[in-house]
Amino acid sequence: MPKLSDRYYTGREVQRKLGITEPALRNLVNQRKLRKIIPPGRTYGVYLKEEVDTYAEKWLAFLTAKEPPKTTFEKANAEDMEAENKLAQRAIGSPGRMTAEIRRAWLAKNPEGHYLLKHDGKLVAYFWLLPVKHERLLAFMNGEIRGGDITAEDVETFEPGKPVECLLVGIASEPDVGEITRMHYVQHLLRGVKREAEQLGRQGIIVTKIYATSDTPTGIATAIHIGMDEYGPKIGKRLRFVLDVEKSHSFLLDDYKQGLAEWRKKQRGASKDKRPSITKKQSAT
């Protein structure tokens, strides 16, 4: 007898596959784009895999049929921080104590892992992976401090062979455009991040875990889409997420893991070359 999981997705599996939040899934059901089925003897709904997979294929075809905006992907510079802080305010909301000066201080301490997408020279999206000392990272995740309380002294540096934990400072895109254009921005941004992540892996940068928080539908959907897991109960309206890099199957990490594996292979080869060879005379004594 076939298992229920052979024909159906759970609600969480549908959210992960489509990269949407639970309210967005409810909207798809209300719009009759997906059917929610409650099997006999169960209290929660499931979704036919065939219907979900078909919807996902149609949505992807719709996106790729549109002409994407002309954009450029680049590493962040100190001059970009004012525009980035303003974009964060528009896309995420009030940044609290976060300022362009704080962003510049973080960037000066660790200039890697911070990427921008620009359209006609204007900043339209950014991605920032920041290595932070463990105790300060946990204080942030537990709600004891906010992002603006993290100083340059709390920021780690990327060094070959040095394990670090990172805070996903943000994945944000310009909100004052159409939904399709915004999705293209994020798509192009993440494509560039994947390429850069591979280079970090080739350099021997070891990221063990990635943490993030969000209280916006877009931020939450993005965290789910890239494969992050919930990290304990939410604090107020903020959901908390964590991604265990070694155990994760996130598409965003595939190239990074390949690059890191190649670096480790080279390190093992270099270690073997440094071992003293045993001559015939030595082996006879």
As assigned by CATH, the class of the 71-268 domain is alpha beta
Joined tokens for residue 280: 């015939």
pTM, two decimals, is 0.73
Q: Which residue has the tokens 């300022």?
A: 99
Q: Which of 68, 191, 82 is nearest to 127 (CA)?
A: 191
Q: Are 221 and 21 in contact (CB under 8 A)?
A: yes
Q: Which residue has the tokens 């192009």?
A: 188
Tell me how crowded residue 248 is: count the other CB atoms within 10 A of its CB.
18
DSSP, collapsed to helix, strand or coil, labels residue 172 as strand
To 5 degrees, how large is the angle CA 185–CA 260–CA 257?
50
Q: Which residue has the tokens 């899934």?
A: 25
CA distances from 215 to 40, 112, 283 (A): 35, 26, 67
Domain limits, CATH 3.40.630.30, in the chain: 71-268
Q: How many whole angstroms from its chain centre is CA 13? A: 18
Architecture of domain 4-65: Orthogonal Bundle (1.10)
Q: What is the pLDDT along the chain (285 residues), one digit of tens a residue?
A: 456 667 889 998 888 888 777 877 887 888 888 999 988 878 788 999 989 888 887 776 665 555 556 899 999 999 999 999 999 998 887 656 889 999 999 999 999 999 999 999 999 999 999 999 999 999 999 999 999 999 999 999 999 999 999 999 988 899 898 877 888 888 889 999 999 999 999 999 999 999 999 888 778 888 888 889 999 898 988 899 999 999 998 888 999 999 999 999 999 988 777 666 555 455 454
Query: What pLDDT is stored for residue 76 in this prediction?
Result: 97
Domain limits, CATH 1.10.1660, in the chain: 4-65
CA distances from 148 to 1, 106, 169, 229 (A): 55, 11, 11, 24
Q: Which residue has the tokens 């229920």?
A: 4
DSSP, collapsed to helix, strand or coil, labels residue 129 as strand
